[in-house]
Structures are given as structure tokens and as C-alpha cells.
Amino acid sequence: MHTLTLPAPAKLNLFLHVTGRRADGYHQLQTLFQFLDISDTLHFQRRDDGQIRLTPELPGVPVESNLVVRAAHLLQQASGTSLGADIRLEKRLPMGGGIGGGSSDAATTLLGLNHLWKTGLSLEQLAVLGLQLGADVPVFVQGRAAWAEGVGEQLTPVEIDEPWYLLVVPDCHVSTAEIFSDERLTRDTSPITLQAFREHGGRNDCLPVVTTRYHEVRNTLILLNNYCEAKMTGTGSCLFGAFPNECEADKVRARLPATLQTFVAKGCNVSPLHIQLDKAAY
């Protein structure tokens, strides 16, 4: 087996509280991650000469900084393998939208190449490697909807409802670093429990800063709130609402301006990546 095709699914942060700031400037968070059944797709082909080649180049992201290439090099170093890969990335998820496409591409690369190269690292070892690439990579490696603390790496798997979501992509790119460095960000939300979230819900502490800085997000939030309780994922820009079935989500989607990029997707407690990998194992 020398080739493998795998999805890199999106995620939502169903809420996001900023509970503190570490000495190194990173923020302590509480969040609930759930996967979506919309994905990028990665095609891997084994190479025997150790080279990592990625196509196509993403706009604004040089190949060597692409998280796919960085993940592949990290696994080569950690495992000592002499193998390489040709990788083709079919990008479908909007970048910088808070749905974790880059982190998910990195996780899919770690798991995909671990399988193709037979490097035998455990999910735990791959999650530790992934954390070097981004705070969101471990949840994509573990592949279970999770309650997360720390910077997002302390994960507790959860079983939650799996509604349909309407995802709306405002026409702007939000920088995570910019939002976390804004002095107006609330950084002292008291920690809550999963039970408290189930009973009372939670909010996104980044939302006020993002809507102040980006009128596109503010306007899209006002629009979507006409039809559902609109929320923001991560540090934005994507907004979403939950619906009991696909049809209800489609109805609202049909009412939104055709100029807005939208997705209707199912919430998943098990990552589509892990479902696909389990099939590949047989």
C-alpha cells in the first residue's frame, strides 16, 4: 500500500472562554470542539527518496510554511524514517475562518504518513508532536469531540448532540494573533464545568473584539441572528447556527444573499478522518 486519500475535516468551537494568560503570553481557554462533515482532502503517495513535495501552493502560504509540509518534516524527524511523500492538497475549507483547516491538514498529514510509512507512533505521541504546530492540532489527531482546557491541548472526549449547522463565512480574514493581543479582550472569565455549559451554555469571549475590528463579521452576525442564534467559532471569522435537520439549515441558507459563502454541515462527535482511517486499516 503506497497511496492513501484522507479527509481533513473542519471543527467548530461551540463556545470559547478566555480564563487567563500564561507567562509566555498564550491564553488559557475553555472550549468545546465538535467536528463537521466538510473537509479538505489530502492525497498521499509514498516516495523512497525522503523528499516531501506538496501541490498546489496555497495563495499566500509558501510551500515550506504550509502546515502539511511542516507536519511531514516533524514526523520524519521524530520517527527517523528515510521515506518521503508526494502530497496533493484539495483545499475546500476557508482559511483563517476559525474552522481549523490548517490544523486539520496538519493532523491528517501526521496520521496519514504514520500509516503510510508504518512509523507506528501512537495517537498520544502524534498529538504531542502536533501541538508544536498549533494549539488546535491535538484535537484533530485524537478525533473525538472534546471539552478542552489549557491552550486547547487538555482534552476530555464528550458525547454531545450532533445537529446540522449552517456556517457563514464573512468576507474577511481574521488573524488569531491579532485578536489575542487586543487589549480589549476579556481574559478573566471564571472557569465553568461541562455540566454548567450543558445547562446554561457559554459565549465566545473573542466575539466583541472581532465585531469591533471587522464590520463584515458584525454585519453578518446581525443578519444571521434574524434566523437563528448566531455564534462565532474560534477567533472568527466564521459564524454558525444549529438546526435540528439539514432541511431547516438549507431553508435559512436559501434566504441569505448569494454573495455570502455558506456551508451546511453535520456536527460529528467522531472525526471523519478517523472513520476513514479505520476503513483503510482493513
Ligand X SMILES: Nc1ncnc2c1ncn2[C@@H]1O[C@H](COP(=O)(O)OP(=O)(O)O)[C@@H](O)[C@H]1O
Q: Which residues bind ligand X (CB under 6 A)?
A: 58, 61, 65-68, 95-103, 105, 176, 234
Burial level of 91, CB count in 10 A (0-12/13-18/19+)?
Answer: middle
Q: Distance (Å, rounded) from C-alpha 202 to C-alpha 239?
A: 15
Please select the residue that binds ligand SUD; options are 94, 234, 241, 267, rule is CB under 6 A: 234
For the CA atoms of the chain, what is the radius of gyration?
Answer: 19
- Specify the residue, 29 or 99, whose C-beta has the smaller distance to ligand X: 99
> Nearest distance from residue 104's CB to ligand SUD, in Å?
10
Task: Measure the CA angle with vertex 224, ends 222 and 227; round to 5°.
Answer: 120
Please identify which of the residues 37, 40, 105, 136 carries the catalytic annotation: 136
Q: Which of 236, 5, 242 is nearest to 100 (CA)?
A: 236
- Of ligand X, ligand SUD, none, which one does residue 84 interact with (CB within 5 to 8 Å by kind)? none
User: CA–CA separation, 86 vs 104, rounded Å?
Assistant: 18
Beta bridge partners of 144: 270
Q: Considering CB distances under 5 to 8 angstroms, the limit depending on partner class, which of ligand X, ligand SUD, none binds residue 131? A: none
The H helix count followed by the E strand count for the chain is 10, 10
Q: 27 contacts which partner out of ligand X, ligand SUD, none, CB within 5 to 8 A by kind?
A: ligand SUD
Return the number of the residue (100 or 138) whose C-beta is nearest ligand X: 100
We find the least distance from the C-beta atom of residue 234 to ligand SUD, in angstroms, to be 2
Q: What separation in angstroms does the CA of 59 have from each of 56, 145, 173?
A: 9, 30, 13
13 makes contact with ligand SUD (CB under 6 A): yes
Q: Which residue has the cell 496519514?
A: 112
Number of residues that bind ligand SUD (CB under 6 A): 19
Q: Which of residues 139-178 bind ligand SUD (CB under 6 A)?
A: 151-152, 176-177
Instruction: Confirm whether 136 is a catalytic residue.
Output: yes
Q: Quick check: is 251 catalytic?
A: no
Report the site for ligand SUD in 22-61 (rule: CB under 6 A).
Answer: 25-27, 29, 31
Q: Which residue is nearest to ligand SUD (CB)?
A: 234
Half-sphere exposure of 254 (CA within 13 A, CB side): 6
29 binds, among ligand SUD, ligand X, none (CB under 5 to 8 A by kind): ligand SUD
98 is an interface residue for ligand SUD by CB under 6 A: yes
E-strand ranges in the chain read 3-21, 27-47, 52-55, 84-90, 146-149, 154-157, 164-169, 231-232, 239-243, 261-268
| CB-count burial class (<10 Å; 0-12, 13-18, 19+) for 186 | middle
Taking contact as CB under 6 A, which single stretch among the options 81-89, 134-142, 184-192, 266-274 is the one that binds ligand SUD?
A: 134-142
Give the interface with ligand SUD as residue ranges (CB under 6 A). Answer: 13, 25-27, 29, 31, 98, 100, 103, 134-136, 151-152, 176-177, 180, 234-235
Mind telling me the catalytic residues? 11, 136
